[in-house]
Amino acid sequence: MRRLICVLSFATACGSGAHARPDAAGSASSDASSDAAGSSSDLGALMPREVAGDAHAVMATPTVVAITYDADPNRDDIEALYTQYAASPAWTMQTAEYGIGALAVGTPRHLGGTAATSDAQVRQLLTANLGGTSPAWGAPNEDTLYSVTIPVGTAFTDQTGASFCGGYHDDFMIGTVDVAYAIQLPCTLPPPVTALQSLTFALSHELVEGVTDPRFETDYAWGDVDPAHEVWAYVTDGELADMCEFASTWLWTDAPGMTYAIQRIWSNAAAHAGTDPCVGDPTAPYAQSVPDQPDATTIALFGGSVSTNATKVAIGATGSITVHVAGTGPGPFTVTAYDVATLYFDASKPLLTFTQPTGSYHVGDTVTIPVTVVAKDANLGGAGAEAFEIDTAPASGPTTYFYGLVSQ
């Protein structure tokens, strides 16, 4: 994530791959049709894609340096995770299409004393050991991610001063070198996720994003979503690991050559093929319910304004979202719509309410979902817009999630 993943209020969603579901609103209304797109190639054309501000701004020949505290009982696992990941085919499977080469593992750095309790203290620590004429850890390198793990249970504040657990990555200047760093302080995630999986999830997430989008100070690399699907960046934060963080298939527990679990990573190639875009081992068959978004709108995102697609419904009015079930099946599927503000962002009441579809659907079906707009999402700007999620659930197997916008 650009700044934070899995802060305390998000811990259940980003850790378990399952959401806390609000109650469905109203009665059912649906419209089945057989003339919608149905094949995997059709789905591939409808899926989001990750885009790069500057694809050359990645760490093409990356090194990761694990920085841990003597009091951290997870040190051995942290260092072993990086060694395994670098040697595993999983690294190439997840990063090669984005211009990333083999991962090198640098000399681990061990720290005594009390752990840092703020982002500012981490920057001071890195400056003390990487700056000056004779730096203790050697000269800083722009192709190195300095990965700092804070012991579980430490009271830590991020750049905004907020209490934090999870992980994020950032960069800052030490002398003339733009230094990229990651911070991990694993959340305690609900079962069946183990404490070790919570740790290696955060480590792998930030490692991939730290090398594929390392330069906030100068230019984004792989850190955004194509214009038609900018709502995915709003919901997830839009980097390669973020895009798979909330998926049912978010954790890869049997990566080749690895005993540690790592996070699955978004693949443009897999998405374009109409298969599970979260690598490794994409699940097949794969299906999504993709909303029509026929209207142009502008939303606030990451401090700017972006043009994107939406379905227009006025505040206080009821309209409808039309979704097409596409992919390779097999069905039947249930299709359900959710308000993103309450699902992810802890809104006290929904901004959108839905009359949920009933029954089951197959690839090729069209589903019409009535929606009532209650209020604007202030985070998306004054023009008026609200985000929703469409879930497609087979009788058995993982649920898939697709994001869309209602706008005014």
Cα separation, 365 vs 36, in Å, equals 6
Say if residue 187 is in the same domain as residue 59.
yes
H helices within 88-143, ranges in order? 89-95, 119-130
Domain end among 203, 219, 235: 219
For the ranges 3-7, 144-148, 166-170, 394-398, which has the lowest average pLDDT? 3-7
- The model's confidence at residue 52, banded by pLDDT at 50, 70 and 90, is very high
pLDDT computed for residue 306 by the predictor: 96
Domain end among 181, 203, 219: 219
In a domain, residue 39? The reply is yes
The stretch 207-229 carries a mean pLDDT of 93
Say if residue 44 is in the same domain as residue 136.
no
The stretch 165-177 carries a mean pLDDT of 95
Say if residue 138 is in the same domain as residue 28.
no
The tally of domains found in the chain comes to 2
For the ranges 4-18, 247-261, 365-379, 387-401, which has the lowest average pLDDT? 4-18
Sequence-ordered strand ranges (E) for 139-200 = 144-149, 166-174, 177-185
Count of beta carbons in the 10 Å neighbourhood of residue 143:
15
Say if residue 192 is in the same domain as residue 88.
yes
Say if residue 66 is in the same domain as residue 210.
yes
In a domain, residue 317? The reply is yes
- The model's confidence at residue 93, banded by pLDDT at 50, 70 and 90, is very high
The stretch 28-37 carries a mean pLDDT of 33
Say if residue 190 is in the same domain as residue 70.
yes
- Residue 137 has which token pair? 């850890």
Domain end among 175, 202, 219: 219
In a domain, residue 344? The reply is yes
Say if residue 85 is in the same domain as residue 31.
no
**Mean per-residue pLDDT of the chain:** 89
In a domain, residue 4? The reply is no
Domain hosting 28: range is 21-48+284-407
Residue 243 vs residues 173, 188, 230, 360: alpha-carbon distances, Å: 28, 21, 12, 27
- The model's confidence at residue 289, banded by pLDDT at 50, 70 and 90, is very high
In a domain, residue 253? The reply is no
Say if residue 201 is in the same domain as residue 329.
no
Q: What is the model's pTM? A: 0.90
The stretch 225-243 carries a mean pLDDT of 97
In a domain, residue 321? The reply is yes
Say if residue 28 is in the same domain as residue 177.
no
